[in-house]
Amino acid sequence: MQAALVLMIVLSTLLGAFSQKPHHCKSPPYLQGKLLVDFSEGRSVVYEQFYYDALEQRIRVILAGKEGEHDVFLDRILLYREKVYYDIIYHNKSCIKNSLDGAFVPIAIPPEAKHRAQVVLGSLSGPAQGLLVNNWVGFDPELKANYSLTFTEFGCIPIVNMYRIEGTGHFLLSFFDIVVGIEDPTVFIPPEFCSSKTLVEQRDGKAANFFNALLYA
Amino acid sequence: MQAALVLMIVLSTLLGAFSQKPHHCKSPPYLQGKLLVDFSEGRSVVYEQFYYDALEQRIRVILAGKEGEHDVFLDRILLYREKVYYDIIYHNKSCIKNSLDGAFVPIAIPPEAKHRAQVVLGSLSGPAQGLLVNNWVGFDPELKANYSLTFTEFGCIPIVNMYRIEGTGHFLLSFFDIVVGIEDPTVFIPPEFCSSKTLVEQRDGKAANFFNALLYA
């Protein structure tokens, strides 16, 4: 009986310690939802469809909307491991292939990130009124960027990730309507007409990096 | 039996219609929590304590932290109905009284605001991983400001409110760790020493408005 009591006290102390100090949680490797990309020069894009595969280092973003009077459309598959991205143009069944440079930046908390704050977005005064999140900060020497990353306490779902890149500006990635998993795994495979004669390779200009490849240009 | 079935169908249609179109929810009149104020000139303040009373039009903000090497402290009671605010200085038990100009801006969705989007911050893939919010936009002719207001679907708790004021810039108010209600109602009453001889009235300069009175100067 006494042993059980001691065990309970030890356990509750341990659990207390864990609950006090948020751990470097592991984000899901597959995500889909909506993504807002905001760049410091006042450029921002909302992708209604965003697909993310951390294991194969692939992203797909789809944008369909209006910019003032103009219809805008973008369907881009980014294959970071193959260092290319495709823009798919449906109306004439063609594709544009571009070079991708630099490493894939996973949506994850780097091991060296420092925990800055745990806060509730909204309120815990009633059910479904608040969301417990953790904010992590640090410096990425490879990207030469200070980062501020906010993930949910439960599920480790990204909320908003900010990168301040030396000499470039800030990139803000905001995530909405996130679903864990990928409904259709073929979403990262360029359509068949991309490998046919209609493929245009753009070799002029600088290769895009992780961030600016996500900006509609 | 058939009448009951018809009633059920009518009810479910009505409920469906209501659930599809978010209503102009009513925010709680009493709130306390944390507040981040961000102004376009790069000035931002995080108040660890924020108290809000919509009925009597009173706000109190308390800031205690470090700014680089300096300790910073601010304890400000804003009485919009009386058009004054007090800065409380504890070390010599004195107060500074300032003028407040312009109307109180309630943390609420104006009746003429347009619903722009309903999104989940995070994910609904698991419990406590997401927060359903609504975004409302519009123009306030009195403030001469475009606004973008985000409130939770349940509880109508403020998340982030942005005002773009013509010729001034943007004010961003972000709310964290919000509790519905006020624990201590005396929090809006200036301490006794504020009404004694130690009170300094600042009559020089322009009276602060709703927004810049919330900026630590």
Domains along chain A with CATH numbers: 30-105+181-214 (no CATH), 114-178 (3.10.450)
Mean local confidence (pLDDT), B149-162: 96
A170 bridge partner residues: A164
Tell which wins on pLDDT, A91 or B77.
B77
Q: CA nearest A76: which of A67, A64, A68? A: A64
Q: What is the pLDDT of residue A8?
A: 53
Q: Does B159 touch chain A (CB under 8 A)?
A: yes
A50–chain B nearest CA distance, Å:
14
Mean local confidence (pLDDT), B110-117: 95
Cα distances from B26 to residues A27, B12, B151, B156, in angstroms, run: 35, 24, 10, 6
Return d(Cα A210, Cα A163) in angstroms, integer.
12
Q: Which residues contact B8 (CB under 8 A, 6 or more apart)?
A: none
Question: Which residues of chain A does B129 touch, with a Cβ-Cβ cutoff of 8 Å?
Answer: 131, 152, 154-155, 157
**CB atoms near residue B138 (< 10 Å):** 18
Instruction: Give the chain B residue whose CA is nearest to the CA of A150.
Output: B122
A183–chain B nearest CA distance, Å:
13
Cβ <8 Å between B128 and A132: yes
Mean pLDDT of chain B, nearest integer: 86
Q: Would the pLDDT of B11 be above 60?
A: no
Confidence at B3, pLDDT banded by 50, 70, 90: low
Q: What is the pLDDT of residue A53?
A: 97
Instruction: Give the chain A residue whose CA is nearest to the CA of B178.
Output: A123
Confidence at B122, pLDDT banded by 50, 70, 90: very high
For B177, which of A119, A128, A154 is closest by C-beta distance? Answer: A119
Q: What is the pLDDT of residue A14?
A: 46
Tell which wins on pLDDT, B52 or B69.
B52
For A177, which of B120, B154, B176 is closest by C-beta distance? Answer: B120
Q: Which residues contact B163 (CB under 8 A, 6 or more apart)?
A: B105, B140, B143, B145, B146, B147, B170, B171, B172, B211
Cβ <8 Å between B175 and A122: yes
Q: Would the pLDDT of B200 be above 80?
A: no
A181–chain B nearest CA distance, Å:
9
Measured between alpha carbons, how far apart are the two ends of chain A, in Å?
A: 69
Mean local confidence (pLDDT), B18-26: 74
Among the ranges A9-13, A167-171, B148-152, B166-170, which has the highest mean pLDDT value?
Answer: B148-152
**What string of pLDDT tens digits covers the 217 residues of chain A?**
555 555 555 545 444 444 557 789 999 999 999 999 988 777 788 999 999 999 999 999 999 877 778 888 999 999 999 999 999 999 888 899 988 988 899 999 999 999 999 999 999 999 999 999 999 999 999 889 999 999 999 999 999 999 999 888 889 999 999 999 999 999 999 998 887 666 666 655 667 888 888 887 6
Instruction: Give the chain A residue whose CA is nearest to the CA of B151.
Output: A122
A203–chain B nearest CA distance, Å:
38
How would you class A184 by CB atoms within 10 Å of its CB: exposed for 0-12, middle for 13-18, buried for 19 or more?
exposed
| DSSP strands (E only) in chain B | 30-39, 44-53, 58-67, 70-79, 84-89, 94-99, 114-122, 130-140, 145-152, 158-165, 169-180, 199-201
Q: Which residues contact B42 (CB under 8 A, 6 or more apart)?
A: none
Q: Would the pLDDT of B198 be above 70?
A: no
Cα-to-chain-centroid distance, residue A49: 12
Confidence at B6, pLDDT banded by 50, 70, 90: low
Q: Does A118 touch chain B (CB under 8 A)?
A: no
Q: What is the pLDDT of residue A59?
A: 96
Cβ <8 Å between B122 and A128: no
Q: Would the pLDDT of B118 be above 70?
A: yes
